[in-house]
Structure 1
Amino acid sequence: MPADSTRSNPWIAVRPGEDTGTLARRVSSAYERFVARSADNPDEGGVPVRSVVLESWQRSLRGGVDPDRGAEGSALGAADLEEYRAAHPISSIRPVVRSLLVDGAEDSGLLVAISDQRGRLLWVEGDRSARDRADRMSFIEGTDWSEAAVGTNAPGTALQLDHCVQIFGAEHFSRNVHDWSCAAAPVHDPVSGQLLGTVDITGGPRVATPEALQLVRATVAAAEAELRLRGLDAGPDPDRGAARLEVLSEERPRLRHGGRVVRLSRRHGEILLLLAEHPEGLAAEHLSFLLDDRELDTVTVRAEMSRLRKIFGSANIASRPYRLLVPLVTDIDEVRGDLDRGDVRAALDRYRGPVLAGSDAPGVVRIREELWASVRAGVLGEADADALRRWTESPHGRDDVESWSAYLAHLDPASPRYRRIAAHLSVLDRRLAT
């Protein structure tokens, strides 16, 4: 990468010739000012850090991440973690990553991590003393290092943005990671394009240089080439590619998997959605409560799971607890991704209907209400007249007085549309007041 391009590249943390000591002090000062000032206004600008870092800090703050808490230990036991990562498709790139990054790194002070598509660290290898230090901040196998869990960090932010990124020192949102720097890049299935996870290097300031990011990107390119070769060697595989669950519709939920589209029963759609939302797994009793708070019989749950395995594949769902052993994306994930990127119009395009319309399962109702609130907040925060029009004209915002009022504020008071919307809002106010 030419030196002049690195100076304007927002994904690179340390520019060529930049003094890391001076940069560390500047970033640390900016971080403390942001945390001190932004509790009341998370979108406050004027912070002298890279835009990709500032936007991640803002997402972390809005998401309720505590900068003083840090990561928590793994929710998976050793046996469960071993089973999960052995079945995960990213496991096949580990030999390539070890060959290019891990071998010979015993005394380098560096760690190499592979995560899944949700930010869970599957493998953490490298320098022993660095691993001992990293243990104290729970940078360990099985731990969730998504941006939603611990705030700004290279693996989590790379997944959030689906782009390679470096995070230097105090650019991390969690204070107990400020002594570290990291560089990560996302890994995709070269055939389906499915996001599989990340490869990350963690260590001292040199990890934040352009050369380190180039090394990670080259490793990911080699790993994806290996995945493509494996696919060619294996021949056509009807089960290859991302499994996708569609629940944003008035129609029955649909599962796209193995080249097939299957219309699911509402109950099977509920179960798959709840498992996708709980990658750590659900005990039968917990799943039954999320499906029916009137204490649905666990025997009935087990019977439904048996039927679902025949549709989705017995090797794709584990027991004790019930959990998915293969990646499953949902159209809810895609709406959330659009909102996280600030693309409200794309989110409205995808938000075609309520989550599993007609379902009264408590766990599904919570997801439905949270997604509605998230889309609504995105629309109101965007302050875009077209987005407000689309929202208020949809079933989701038809009775939303605040959104109608916001839409009215964007219209010309002399226009016929303004008068029509004002009259509608008046009727709506009277109807809701009765």
Structure 2
Amino acid sequence: MSVPHAVPPGRHLPDYARDLVRMHDAVISGTRPNLRPRALVSRSWSRVLGLGLTADGRNVRAALAEEELARRRHGSPLRNVIGELRQVIGAVSDASPLLLVVTDADGVILWQEGASPVLRRAEDLGFRAGAQWTEANVGTNAIGTALAEAAPVELLAGEHFEQGQHPWYCTAAPIHDPRTGALLGVVDVSGPALTLHPAIGALVETARRLAESQLWRGHRQGLERLRRSAEPLLAAAAGPALLVDDDGWVAHSSGIAVGDRIAAPADGQVIAVPGVGACIPERLADGWLIRPSDRGRTVLLDLDLSGSPVLRLRSGDAEWHRPLTKRHAEIFALLHSAGPAGLTAQALSRALFGDTEHLVTVRAEVSRLRRLHGTLVETRPYRLADGVRLAVHRAPGPS
């Protein structure tokens, strides 16, 4: 999803920035603005006003202690791509007064890079490593609003809620784990408002794509290392087997035709692999060896919606039941109704949210579902996997 540009085509940047400041002043004072805020900005301002933040002062900016910041940096998968992001932005920042910021999923700034004058101005604003730049902390800003909207955001001058941020533009995009769809953080480029260029959005999108592609490359390299380390065991294994990592991604398969991923294994839990049946996970040093436990090939599911959603599985002699979130239960029920034809991401978004504007959310939810329950659900289109039979039991209606 590309970053929407904050400046309408044909508008003169300095004039438009001044108009946005006037718009902000009018809205905050309760008068009618000559320029209406964008829908994105209106939604964000409504959220922060509801939180009781003030526009004419500086809201609280408590930075994390160095120990906590170091812990978050070490625990973030983005630490493996920050070097590449610095190279992409660094070539531009030498010639332009801009700032690269990378946060975690909580909006905490983990890394900053940029020209010294811009870094000093950012420091004066409390825009520094360890600070949390969510809407709840500092009002409408590209980082916090991108997190709230789950979408790329570009804001200019008076579109920021706090007046102290009006001299800035900021352009941000969420970064997701390409393996799981989980939100990892946000990449942001900020700078003086009157230096905003249409290419900034493309720069941020390039940074996002680079981060996710590098994460995916690291993932593939990890699977290859797992395969090489387990080669002696695989050579000695009799019968069909799978080698997977801790998230269920397949490093090697022998005699079992599956896709790229199964359910994340866990000690003592039987895994259902469609087309294979119940399988037993065996822990290895860096992954799992998965082998069939019996000859059963059909996976029978019961989705119980009569109370808190529960999914029950039976395959051969193996049985288990797991609680479901309401969203995952709704997805299973929709795919059951859709039948073998399944649903596209757009159709699933429309069924869940009433529109097609939630594709990122839909893909993330299905990715989480597949991580928990494996390839019971297939993709492109979303559908129940071959060999899976689902029955849905709903609460009885009023008599």
TM-score scaled to structure 1, two decimals?
Answer: 0.51
Counterparts of 1:114-263 in structure 2, within 5 Å, are: 114-205=102-193, 208-235=196-223, 238-240=245-247, 259-260=265-266
Taking a change above 3 Å as real, the CA distance of residues 10 and 126 of structure 1, as seen in their structure-2 partners, is closer
Per-residue deviation, residues 355-376 of structure 1 (Å, max 9, x unmatched):
xxxxxxxxxxxxxxxxxxxxxx
**Partners of 1:113 and 1:200 within 8 A in 2:** yes
CA distance in 1 between counterparts of 2:188 and 2:268 reads 36
- Aligned-pair distance for 1:59? 1.2
In the alignment of these two chains, the number of paired residues is: 252
CA distance in 2 between counterparts of 1:127 and 1:67 reads 28
The CA RMSD over aligned residues, in Å, is 3.9
- Counterpart of 1:11 in structure 2 is 4
CA distance in 2 between counterparts of 1:113 and 1:136 reads 16
Per-residue deviation, residues 48-73 of structure 1 (Å, max 9, x unmatched):
12111111111111122222343544
Per-residue deviation, residues 382-412 of structure 1 (Å, max 9, x unmatched):
xxxxxxxxxxxx9xxxxxxxxxxxxxxxxxx
CA distance in 1 between counterparts of 2:177 and 2:206 reads 16
1:76 aligns with 2:64: yes
CA distance in 1 between counterparts of 2:137 and 2:327 reads 16
1:27 aligns with 2:17: no
Amino acid at match of 1:17: G
Percent identity between the two aligned chains: 30
3-state secondary structure, aligned to 2:93: coil
TM-score scaled to structure 2, two decimals?
Answer: 0.55
More strand by share: 2
Taking a change above 3 Å as real, the CA distance of residues 96 and 68 of structure 1, as seen in their structure-2 partners, is same
Amino acid at match of 2:87: S
CA distance in 2 between counterparts of 1:56 and 1:151 reads 8
**Partners of 1:188 and 1:224 within 8 A in 2:** yes
CA distance in 2 between counterparts of 1:10 and 1:26 reads 22
Counterparts of 1:57-136 in structure 2, within 5 Å, are: 57-103=45-91, 105-106=93-94, 108-136=96-124
- Aligned-pair distance for 1:123? 0.8
Amino acid at match of 1:180: W
**Partners of 1:10 and 1:50 within 8 A in 2:** no
- Counterpart of 1:411 in structure 2 is none
- Aligned-pair distance for 1:260? 4.5
**Partners of 2:63 and 2:129 within 8 A in 1:** no
Taking a change above 3 Å as real, the CA distance of residues 79 and 106 of structure 1, as seen in their structure-2 partners, is farther
More helix by share: 1
Taking a change above 3 Å as real, the CA distance of residues 71 and 116 of structure 1, as seen in their structure-2 partners, is farther
> Which of 1 and 2 has greater Rg?
2
- Aligned-pair distance for 1:106? 4.4
**Partners of 2:17 and 2:193 within 8 A in 1:** no
- Aligned-pair distance for 1:331? 6.7
CA distance in 2 between counterparts of 1:58 and 1:81 reads 31
